[in-house]
Amino acid sequence: MSAIVKLLHAMLSSFKDLIPIILVVSFFEIFVLHQAPAELGSILIGLVFIVLGLTFFVFGLEMGLFPIGESLAEALARKGSVFWLVIFSFSLGFGTTLAEPALTAVANEAAQVAANTGAIEANKLAMNSYAMGLRITVAISVGLAILLGVIRILKGWPIHYIIIGGYVVVMILTSFAPANIIGIAYDSGGVTTSTITVPLVTALGVGLASVIKGRNPMLDGFGLIAFASLSPMIFVLIYGMVFLN
């Protein structure tokens, strides 16, 4: 019985995420545009799917991925083996990013747009390999960012020099990269730090910072996320320079 109540509760909170979108779009359709969105039927089915999907997704994360991921991150931080810690940081960033739903959706959309405008061939195979290439690039860059962030926590390097340096690199690369990758590259930074990556990476950072003396868990946990949203910009720009030029 309590499981059903929990499930209904989770569905309600997933639905709450959609309410502002539904209200704003309805307001515009009724009062400003005086029309209905195209394909209203399939949109309604899709909204039901989103609520169902988010519910199961969040439920599953809290049952499986989060407890094991968080306890693992803390245990490895306490174990004191730098080698395994570094390997784990990279794998964690890589694995969580590959499963991140917003990134999957945006990468598929980017492939669709690239095919429509003739930047890549307009067939399923070329589009899939372009989307997958983007996602793997982002996943590798998040992995490296977490790795660098962990080393930074161990060594106690100041964060703002690395961040400002990173933005300088982004600006230099922007001037060499093809115009049709710049927007996607910039967006990939914001897309990656989302539902799965943020809680697990924060657990790693906070665990690590609380083991080492003289570190502030709030500050250092945050540093990892800041790196993870900066480095995909750099790597996707390079990806564009290599594959779209």
Query: Scanning residues 92 to 121, which ones bind another protein (CB under 8 A)?
Result: 92, 94-96, 98-99, 101-102, 104-106, 109-110, 113-114, 116-117, 119
Tell the smallest beta-carbon distance from residue 213 to another protein (Å). Answer: 20
CB 204 within 8 A of CB 77: yes
- Applying CB under 8 A, the span of 20-28, 147-155, 207-215 interacting with another protein comes to 20-28
* Rounded Cα–Cα distance for residues 222 and 229 (Å): 11
Out of 158, 164, 214, 245, point to the residue binding another protein (CB under 8 A). 164
From 149-157, 175-183, 203-211, give the range in contact with another protein by CB under 8 A. 175-183
CB of residue 115 vs another protein: minimum separation in angstroms?
10
State the DSSP code for 90: H
Give min distance, CB of 73 to another protein, in A. Answer: 9
Angle at the Cα of 61 (from 55 to 63), degrees rounded to 5?
Answer: 100
Alpha-carbon torsion, ordered 79, 81, 87, 89, to 10 deg? 50
Question: Is 149 a residue that touches another protein (CB under 8 A)?
Answer: no
Residue 8, interface with another protein (CB under 8 A)? no
DSSP assignment of 45-57, as one string?
HHHHHHHHHHHHH
Task: Based on the shown chain and the rule CB under 8 A, indicate whether residue 89 belongs to the binding site for another protein.
Answer: no
As a whole number of angstroms, the distance between CA 152 and CA 148 comes to 6
SS3 170: helix
